[in-house]
Amino acid sequence: MIQAEQAFEYIDQSGLERAPRVERLHELGFTWADLEDEEYWLDAVAVMRIETYQELKEAAAALWAILDKAVRYVHLRHDLYDLLGIPPVLWQMLDDCPLPEPGLISRYARFDFAVAGDGTIKLLELNADTPTGYVEASIATPWICAEAGIGSPNAAMKQQLAAAWSVERPDTVACVDYGSHEEDSGTIEALAAHSGLDIRCVDCLDLSIDEGVVKDGEDRIIERMFALYPKEWMAVDEGGEALAYAIESGKLQLFNGPHSIILQSKGLMAAVWGMYELGLLFTEPEREAISRYILPTYNKAVFSESFVSKSVFGREGGSVRIFDDSGTLEIEDEEGYDSSQLFPVVYQKRAEMARIMTAEGELHLLTGMFVINGTPCGLLGRAGGPITGNASHFIALGVRGLEDVQG
């Protein structure tokens, strides 16, 4: 049903026979549309107004530059590393490794936005280290949108990934439990395939490190590796310090690069908001973008209205808690890993997400925007509860008006 002047309309396709569509997506490389008899993929399209999409793309570009600038301010300042929750085992690595050129601290990243029903856009977080959802966005979404006759801006993702990796040229891509963890395995296989390079996929658990030299399970030396391995894990994993040394010593080039951990920290948003309030670092156009798109974020709960707390390195909804206007806990994620036991917490003003009525009931719509090789280039839709966690569904995001004009 189309709602006039709303940022999204919902096109329900659940009346179509699901099995052959799941099989077709499987053939394309999206093999986890159904997970353990659960429907991860909602057979529908959430269609964004082109005006909302254009603003979202401009917001992503502006915020990408702002956060890049903030990382350069933080770099080499150990007091700020500590404030952002960067584990000390990574500090030497961050100091020793040169910063990439502007806009390319991470070549493979994803913003998560709360886009309200009226089109108001607020940044929730930036996944700059190890974002997933690439297969859903680059492979499944264009096919689903084409089947529905809706335009998609996601076709450019493959070309941007190939351009990024033609520079980085990893010889290996890795994830934990490669071959058995379906989503992560499928993600690194798609990245490798879209790169156009001859790349080997391996399991992080099979890696060995000796005096900085990293080898896979077949004793092959790895020199340039992309890994779906969150860098903060180096602080708690048995081999974390050895991996950090391999990077510090230059024997391993890891992608995304080391400084993506600074971009990844939600503490960076608190730092940006703090500098905005103090009138530091940012130009007037940057300040306007911060005011418009970044939520007030602090290291302490100072709100008199509904707010959210989250670990600076929380992932998949883990550690997220929502509080009401009186500061009373309203909702918390109970499925994801609560990393607030290991890392500091930030507090952020609550933002409204658009709600869509689906066969599963009313769901909140989270809007992801990939930034690959420095360019905003692909949408990812997730639908679930007020906290977008592991139980959320994938839904294709299309753009009304891009059927004839791509961008």
Among 136-140, 166-170, 334-338, 399-403, whose mean pLDDT is lowest?
Answer: 334-338
pTM of the predicted structure, to 2 decimals? 0.95
Among 15-19, 223-227, 390-394, whose mean pLDDT is lowest?
Answer: 390-394
Give pLDDT, residue 168.
97
Mean pLDDT of 345-366: 94
d(CA 57, CA 50): 10
Supply φ then ψ for residue 84, to 5 degrees: -85, -5
Give pLDDT, residue 249.
94
Any idea how long the chain is? 407
Q: Which residues of 59-76 are buried (b: 16+ CB within 10 A; e: fewer)?
A: bbbbbbbbbbbbbebbbe
Judge whether residue 164 has pLDDT over 70.
Answer: yes
d(CA 191, CA 193): 5
Give pLDDT, residue 2.
44
Q: Which stretches does DSSP call E strand in 83-223?
A: 108-115, 121-127, 172-175, 200-203, 208-210, 213-215, 221-222
pLDDT digit string (tens) for 83-131?
Answer: 999 999 999 999 999 999 999 999 999 999 999 999 999 999 999 999 9
pLDDT digit string (tens) for 254-304?
Answer: 999 999 999 999 999 999 999 999 999 999 999 999 999 999 999 999 999
pLDDT tier for residue 371 given thresholds of 50, 70 and 90: very high
Mean pLDDT of 388-394: 85
Q: Name the residue type at position 224.
A: R
User: Domain spans of the chain?
Assistant: 8-152+354-400
Paired tokens of 126: 């930036």
Paired tokens of 292: 């418009």
Contacts (Cβ under 8 Å, ≥6 apart) of 4: none
Judge whether residue 318 has pLDDT over 90.
Answer: no
Judge whether residue 3 has pLDDT over 70.
Answer: no
- In contact, 5 and 51? CB cutoff 8 Å: no
